[in-house]
Amino acid sequence: MQIEVTRDVFQLAQVFTISRGSRTQAEVLTVAVSDAGVSGVGECVPYARYDETMGSVSDQILAFSGDWECLSDELPAGAARNALDCALWDRAAKSAGKRVWELLGLPTPLPAITAYTLSLDTPGAMQRQAAENAKRPLLKIKLGTPDDMARLEAVRRGAPDARIIVDANEGWTADVYADLAPHLIRLGVQMVEQPLPAGQDDMLAEIARPLPVCADESCHDRASLPALKGKYDMVNIKLDKTGGLTEALALKSQAIAEGYGVMVGCMVGSSLAMAPATILAQGASFTDLDGPLLLAEDRDGPLKFDEKGVHPPAAALWG
């Protein structure tokens, strides 16, 4: 099996800011696996929060033996394994002349309403962002500072009818979250994502959770689930955290069996990165696959987004 890795850069439509910093472009790794004249492709986004770099992830990918059955033994859950797993699924589908969901024994995916993310900014700027996107059915607000109340109020003024979810990106303390929680409910927020830092979130088991709390940085794969008990109500499943579609589907099944709600999320990447996650998004409580909507440029044959949500990929893109 031949494995090729390329670095691709996609410019963002505007500066994108979360509590950990800002960016103007999405840097991704594109992986192609080829065997017997058939190639498959996948994409991953190395993430510094998880001690990943473009170089370290590329090295992991190129060191892979090529034996799909050994992938989870050779590589940890993370970006490198994700790109390889998704590329191998794409190659398997092309080789069989079927779609990936057929190989998995799943129905054809339907469009899923996706959140649209508002970048962290001043209250005035966030109100303008909200007003510009007020017709979208679901908005996700990036927060995570001690001064978020004014931002929440501003977004609600800008989009009075939209459903809202909030992502604090580990930026709050237990006291800040406890103070904000009643106001989140008053403003109609439906879920809060990762309010406290991973590893410092035990307090969530001791304070009231008046609205669903979703684990993001605290949940990577199935091995994460025991530590979430009593602290979280939902898990955010991202392919770059689970290490690909195979583990993501297994995590989804186990999380549901243990009583968690499911959110399907993404890093900021292209349509190729989102394509496998459209399978995962079926039946999820919340879908957040808006990466391509944040880009100024995308892959050829990108995913389709319309009033029904994000559609499954055409075979020419993936799967």
Residues taking part in catalysis: 142, 238
- Tally of residues, the chain: 319
Angle at 183 between CA 179 and CA 184, to 5 degrees: 105
Strands 21-35 and 2-18: antiparallel
How many helices (H) and strands (E) would you count in the chain?
A: 11, 13
Q: How far apart are the first and last CA of the chain?
A: 19
In the block, tokens 């957040």 appear at: 288
Residue 24 to residue 29: CA distance in whole angstroms:
17
DSSP assignment of 94-132 equals: HHHTS-HHHHTT-PPPPPB---EEEPP--HHHHHHHHHH
Residue 294 Cα distances to 12, 27, 100, 240, 311, angstroms? 6, 13, 26, 18, 17
Query: What token pair was written down for 292?
Result: 């391509």
Q: Is the CB of residue 165 less than 8 Å from the CB of residue 138?
A: yes
